[in-house]
């Protein structure tokens, strides 16, 4: 068995009466690409924040590579693209990349970061003058800077055009092929279908299905040629009396 990149054990996070993350167990082996799916408000961003040590759970424990999440992030083992991450206004793309590199002990070199993120022609552009899709690419560059073993990506392709999305996923595939680990959330389920080894479906802070895309279709009871959207809707809009049971390839077979 591979090393464990991410381990969440019985994690709960409440906001008032809302259980955003509800007694969640999640283990991700190093070298896998995992898509975290769920309807709006399912708890994806909250789970990611806790996973990265940016928010504390009310209960439960989190480790990345067997160490506290914040330590792993500081050591450059994990890089992240977050939805609301801002940059210093007035800084250029190159400034931001160099700033990110300075945070880590073994950064990638600036030119390769810019090339991987598709920012070669934008290095001198001020970050506050980037378009939405270009800003996502700058966030990707920031995430890559420390040469992390784990990339955590919250809706990474939001705002990217078709060419930028294709280039982004090509870069992610190449990164994953090098025995790296990727966890990403998305509402573009074809991205999960195309790229992920494993799909984890959250509803109301709990995992309701977990397995490779083909297994997710089987668990949802849709045909093998059905879209992942169809499987997702079947899994997330069904009755939840008593709370959703987790469905995995193991429990169904």
Nearer to ligand ATP, 51 or 130 (CB): 51
Burial classification of residue 79, based on how many CB atoms lie within 10 Å of its CB (0-12 exposed, 13-18 middle, 19 or more buried): buried
Nearer to ligand ATP, 158 or 227 (CB): 158
What are the tokens at 112?
A: 């390769």
Nearer to ligand ATP, 48 or 122 (CB): 48
Size of the site for ligand ATP (CB under 6 A): 11
> How many C-beta atoms surround the C-beta of residue 98 within 10 A?
15
Q: How many helices (H) and strands (E) would you count in the chain?
A: 10, 11
Closest distance of CB 21 from ligand ATP, Å: 7
136 binds ligand ATP (CB under 6 A): no
> How many C-beta atoms surround the C-beta of residue 12 within 10 A?
16
Binding mask 26-65 for ligand ATP (x = CB under 6 A): ------------x-xxxxxxx-------------------
Nearer to ligand ATP, 80 or 122 (CB): 80
252 binds ligand ATP (CB under 6 A): no
Contacts of residue 169, defined as CB under 8 A and 6 or more positions apart, other chains included, come to: 157, 191, 194, 195
* Residue (of 174, 34, 154) closest to 112 by Cα position: 174
Closest distance of CB 173 from ligand ATP, Å: 24
20 binds ligand ATP (CB under 6 A): yes
CA distance 127 to 119: 11
Q: Which helix (H) or strand (E) holds 203?
A: strand 198-203
Nearer to ligand ATP, 119 or 204 (CB): 204
Closest distance of CB 171 from ligand ATP, Å: 23
Residues interacting with ligand ATP, by CB under 6 A? 15, 18, 20, 38, 40-46
């Amino acid at each position: 068995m591979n090393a464990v990149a991410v381990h969440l054990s019985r994690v709960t996070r409440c906001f008032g009466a809302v259980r955003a993350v509800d007694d969640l167990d999640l283990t991700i082996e190093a070298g896998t690409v995992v898509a975290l799916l769920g309807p709006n408000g399912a708890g994806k961003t909250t789970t990611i924040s806790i996973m990265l040590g940016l928010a504390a759970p009310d209960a439960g424990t989190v480790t990345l590579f067997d160490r506290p999440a914040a330590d792993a992030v500081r050591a450059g083992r994990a890089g992240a693209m977050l939805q609301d991450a801002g940059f210093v206004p007035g800084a250029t793309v190159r400034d931001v990349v160099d700033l990110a590199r300075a945070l880590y002990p073994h950064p990638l070199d600036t030119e390769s970061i810019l090339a991987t993120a598709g920012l070669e022609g934008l290095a001198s552009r001020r970050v506050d003058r980037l378009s939405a899709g270009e800003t996502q690419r700058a966030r990707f560059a920031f995430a890559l800077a420390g040469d992390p073993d784990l990339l955590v990506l919250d809706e990474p392709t939001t705002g990217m055009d078709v060419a930028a999305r294709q280039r982004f996923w090509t870069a992610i595939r190449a990164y994953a092929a090098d025995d790296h680990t990727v966890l990403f959330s998305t509402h573009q389920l074809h991205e999960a279908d195309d790229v992920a080894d494993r799909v984890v479906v959250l509803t109301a802070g709990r995992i309701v299905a977990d397995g490779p895309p083909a297994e997710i279709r089987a668990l949802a009871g849709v045909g093998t040629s059905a879209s992942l959207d169809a499987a997702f809707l079947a899994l997330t809009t069904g009755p939840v009396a008593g709370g959703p049971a987790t469905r995995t390839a193991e429990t169904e077979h």
